[in-house]
Amino acid sequence: MALLHSWVGVVLGGVLFASFWMGTLSVFGREIDRWMMPETRLAPTPLASLDQLLAGRLALHRGADCTVRLPSDREPILVWHCNDGEPERLDPLTGRALAPAQTLGASGFIVPFHFNLRLADAGTWLIGFAAMGMLALLASGVIIHRRIFRDLFTFRPRKALLRSSLDLHAVTGVLALPFHVLITLSGLILASWIYFPGTWEHVYQGDAGAFTRDAFGGHWREASEESTRLTRLDDMLAEADRHWGPGSVLSLDLRHVGDAVGFVELHRASPERVSGGLERLHFDAATGARRADFEGRPLARVQRFIAGVHLLQFRHWPLRWLYFSCGVAACITIVTGFICWLEGRRERHAPHRTDARLVEALTVGSVLGILLATLAFFVSNRLLPASASVGAFERPELEVAAFAVTWLCSYGHAACRGRAAWERQCWVLGALALTAVLLNWYTTQDYPHRALARGSYGVAGMDALLLLATAVAWRCAQHLRRATALAITAAGEPVALPSAHQL
Amino acid sequence: MGATTASAPPPRAESSMSTRRVVLRFVLAFVGGYAFSAAVSNALAVVLARAGLEPAEAAVLAGMLGVLIYLPTLLWAFAARRPRQAALLLLVVGACAQLLASQWLPEQPPAMQVG
């Protein structure tokens, strides 16, 4: 079991850290979107009339399939998208179209990175195996630390690095163990029909459409060529309010806009429940008549509940912050696991052996590197104007390039500098986080008091967390610098980090 | 075939197996375990559908169970004292399950939802 734990940890630790880091950020993905897309920092307003906002616009998209996402308190804009055009963001109060965001934001970059490393199918499968590896790590970790209760209350920060890392690893791993298990398992089950496609392929003879329609709802009929007047959406919203309760509609799917057999499906938002995404109301577009509703069969509802535990679409701020804290704990578990492994190797081999140096460089790059890259992503968003472009690359691509280049530089720096890279990159981390906050204040004038007064709590929260990150990063860098300085003065030459109790 | 041979450094608790053996264990556990749990979940889906559960429900349940089967299989394959035996067991049972799933399809393909 110890063998399983260390091998799986070393091989998959980098991928797992990336997924858990991006997942932790995704908890506040909507808030990060507001931070990265300042034009969407609007005060939440109730939607007056959907027809007023959309009628003129839909007329330009006859025959297309459109999706409309209604504003919510975390996303105070209306987003709509037809399959023959680009997504558009509207101010729900005035109906004015907002300027194109020109950024992927959290929902376009951070969240997909979390479940497929932005590598499409290959990434999805890699994350899937990594998630299964995480479950194996949790199981083997528990088996190894059988004396959980004794270990739980032992945290010796002043002892040697190996000892204190091991303690922190066990504490964060065990205290948040229910979270680690739930989030990993729910993530796998959420996508179980992707990872185990044989189940529905055998039963449905490969007809994916039939399976998703039967299990998760959805309706389809072919378009006729007759056109009709555009549908009245407000009446459908009113009916949904009567049926589900006020303000329960998450989004609308309009199929075959303006066609005689066009139809509209309303999806239910369930901010007060864990599961969601299953209930639909189905309306005929031409007549506005309500047809069959979809509620989902029991087992599909179970699957959606488990998915809901992972997707966090419910409104419960204490729980959301708990998820975030546990996510941070998971990241700490992974980092301290790496440090344990590195320090353990260091004690057995000479500290200058190539494979130890290689793994150390990989660790720094996989941990500090992705943190630096994320901050570079934020900084470049605020630094570059929305219209920035270099050749064929516009701002969204440039932001991703900043992310990738920073990550690679972190690996390169760690390969050259070895042990000192930890401290140096911590200084840079703090500097980047501070820069991001200052750039936000400079480019949007959303100083904390102003953001809070306007109700942009998400933006203020993001700035606060960035400042906290600066403080933590610089504190760590200071600590590392003192430790190295002491080692140099004590031995007359740089050596491996001494026991911290010498400080 | 006797005890596992240690690599050149003296056997330590953390690597009482050589690197090659660990890699093979990895493959057995992750790849073999996946193939096995996929095959078993396929068979489960078909059996449940034939037993009367709605086809979509059968597929959803079998998918969830596939995930739950994979973990213990992975742990067992990695920790098994005789990996060759473990591999053979996974292969044989998995192949039978897959055969069952592919040969014993439900009588009629499920009808699409009609509007």
pLDDT digits (tens, 9 = 90+) for B71-99: 999 999 988 888 899 999 999 999 999 99
From A256, A194, A195, A254, select the one nearest A224 (Cα to Cα). Answer: A256
Contact (CB, 8 A) for A192 and B37: no
Give the separation between CA A259 and CA A18, rounded to whole angstroms.
46
CB–CB contact B63 A196 (8 Å): yes
For testing the chain B interface, which of A134, A181, A299 should be mutated: the one with the most B CBs within 10 Å? A299
CA distance A47 to A152: 50
Q: Please state, in angstroms and rounded to a whole number, the distance separating the CA atoms of residues B43 and B54.
A: 15
Considering only CB atoms, which chain B residues are within 8 Å of A199? 41-42, 44-45, 58-60, 62-63, 66
Q: Number of residue pairs across A and B with CB atoms under 8 Å? A: 142
CB A335 within 8 A of CB A17: yes
More confident residue, A446 or A79: A79
Find which of A100-104, A184-188, A296-300, A354-358 is predicted with most confidence, using mean pLDDT.
A184-188
DSSP collapsed to 3 states, A249-267: EEEEEEECCCECCCEEEEE
Q: Is residue B105 a contact partner of residue B59, using CB atoms and an 8 Å limit? A: no
What's the one-letter identity of residue A1?
A: M
Q: Is-contact A171 A152, C-beta < 8 A?
A: yes
Q: Scanning every residue of chain A, which has its alpha carbon at the shortest distance from the alpha carbon of B55? A: A203
Q: Which of B39, B45, B64 sits opposite A303 (nearest CB)?
A: B64
The Cα A70–Cα B65 span in angstroms is 35
Residues 6+ apart with CB under 8 A from A354: none
Burial A70-84 (b: 16+ CB within 10 A, else e): bbbebbbbbbbbbee
- Min distance B24 CA to chain A CA atoms (Å): 12
pLDDT at A2: 83
Among B56, B79, B105, the residue with its CB nearest the CB of A4 is B79
| B31 — pLDDT class (breaks 50, 70, 90) | very high
Select the residue from B17, B67, B107 to test the A interface by mutation, using most A Cβ atoms within 10 A. B67
Q: How far apart are CA A472 and CA A294, in angstroms?
A: 49
Is pLDDT above 60 for B4? no
Q: What percent of chain A has pLDDT over 90?
A: 43
Rg, C-alpha atoms of chain A:
26
Task: Pick the range with the lowest mean pLDDT from A41-55, A296-310, A394-408.
Answer: A41-55
Note whether B78 contacts A: Cβ–Cβ < 8 A: yes
Q: What is the pLDDT of residue A351?
A: 56
Q: How far apart are CA A14 and CA A364, in angstroms?
A: 10
pLDDT in tens, A6-28: 889 988 999 999 999 999 999 99
Q: What is the mean pLDDT of residues A32-57?
A: 87
Ranges A132-141, A165-174, B64-73: which has the least confidence = A165-174
| Number of Cβ within a 10 Å radius of residue A326 | 22
Report how far residue B70's alpha carbon sits from residue B40's, in angstroms, rounded to the nearest whole number: 10
Are the Cβ atoms of B45 and A202 closer than 8 angstroms? yes
**How far away is chain A from the Cα of B112, in angstroms, using its nearest Cα?**
6
The tokens 């075939």 sit on which residue? B1
Q: Residue A481 has which token pair?
A: 């610098």
B14 in reach of chain A (CB within 8 A): yes
Q: Which residues contact A162 (CB under 8 A, 6 or more apart)?
A: A339, A340, A343, A344, A347
Question: Region B15-43: what's the mean pLDDT?
Answer: 88
pLDDT of A498: 44
Please compute the mean of the pLDDT values over residues A216-232 and round it to a whole number.
78
pTM assigned to the model: 0.89
pLDDT tens digit sequence for A112-132: 999 999 998 999 999 999 999
| Helix, strand, coil fractions of chain A, as percent rounded to 5 | 65, 10, 30
Task: Indicate the SS3 state at residue B15.
Answer: strand
| pLDDT computed for residue A433 by the predictor | 96
Closest chain B residue to the Cα of A200, Cα to Cα:
B59
- The mean pLDDT of chain B is 80
Pairwise pLDDT comparison (A417 vs B37), residue with the higher score: B37
- Which residues, including other chains, have CB under 8 Å from residue A92's CB and lie 6 or more apart? A42, A45, A47, A48, A53, A71, A76, A77, A78
Nearest Cα to Cα of residue A243 among A294, A308, A296: A294
Phi, psi (degrees; rounded to nearest 5) at B18: -75, 165
List, for residues A142-154, the tens digit of each pLDDT value.
Answer: 888 776 656 556 6
- The phi, psi pair for A97, rounded to 5°, reads -75, 130
Average pLDDT, chain A: 86
Any residues with CB less than 8 A from the CB of B85 and at least 6 apart, and which? none
Q: Which long-range contacts (CB under 8 A, 24 or more apart) does A46-52 make?
A: A46/A247, A47/A71, A47/A78, A47/A92, A48/A92, A48/A93, A49/A234, A50/A233, A50/A234, A50/A237, A51/A232, A51/A233, A51/A234, A52/A95
Predicted pLDDT of residue A290: 84
Q: What string of DSSP letters covers A390-446?
A: ETTEEHHHHHHHHHHHHHHHHHHHHHHHGGGHHHHHHHHHHHHHHHHHHHHHHHH--
Q: How far apart are CA B92 and CA A73, in angstroms?
A: 55
A249-255, strands of its sheet edge to edge:
A88-90, A78-82, A66-69, A249-255, A263-268, A280-284
Q: How far is CA A276 from the centre of its chain?
A: 18
What does the pLDDT read at residue A262?
85
Confidence of residue A294 (pLDDT cuts 50, 70, 90): confident
Band of residue A335 on the pLDDT scale cut at 50, 70, 90: very high
DSSP alpha helix (H) spans, chain B: 19-26, 33-50, 55-79, 83-103
Interface contact flag, A199 B16, Cβ < 8 Å: no
Q: Which residues of A touch B19 (CB under 8 A)?
A: none
A292 has pLDDT over 90: no
pLDDT band at B114 (very low <50, low <70, confident <90, very high): very low
State which residue of chain A sits closest to B49, comparing Cα positions. A203
Q: Which residue of B has its CA nearest to A307?
A: B64
Quick one: pLDDT at residue A496? 46
Q: Is B25 exposed, middle or buried (0-12, 13-18, 19+ CB in 10 A)?
A: buried
Minimal C-alpha gap between A338 and chain B (Å): 15
pLDDT in the model for residue B1:
39
- Is the model's pLDDT at B36 over the cut of 60? yes
**Assigned token pair, A64:** 């297309």
pLDDT at residue A160, as a whole number = 63
Q: What is the mean pLDDT of residues A269-285?
A: 84
The type of residue at B49 is: A
Share of chain A above pLDDT 70, in %: 93
Give the model's pLDDT for residue A399.
Answer: 94
pLDDT digits (tens, 9 = 90+) for A405-423: 999 999 999 998 888 899 9
Question: A366 near A341, Cβ under 8 Å?
Answer: no
Q: What is the mean pLDDT of residues A469-487?
A: 86
| B38 interface with A at CB cutoff 8 Å | yes
| Exposure of B69 in the CB half-sphere (CA atoms within 13 A) | 24
Q: Is A14:A362 a contact under the CB 8 Å cutoff?
A: yes
Taking contacts as CB-CB distances below 8 angstroms, the residues of chain B near A275 are: none
Mean pLDDT for the stretch of residues A198-221 = 86
pLDDT of residue A158: 54
> What is the pLDDT at residue A190?
93
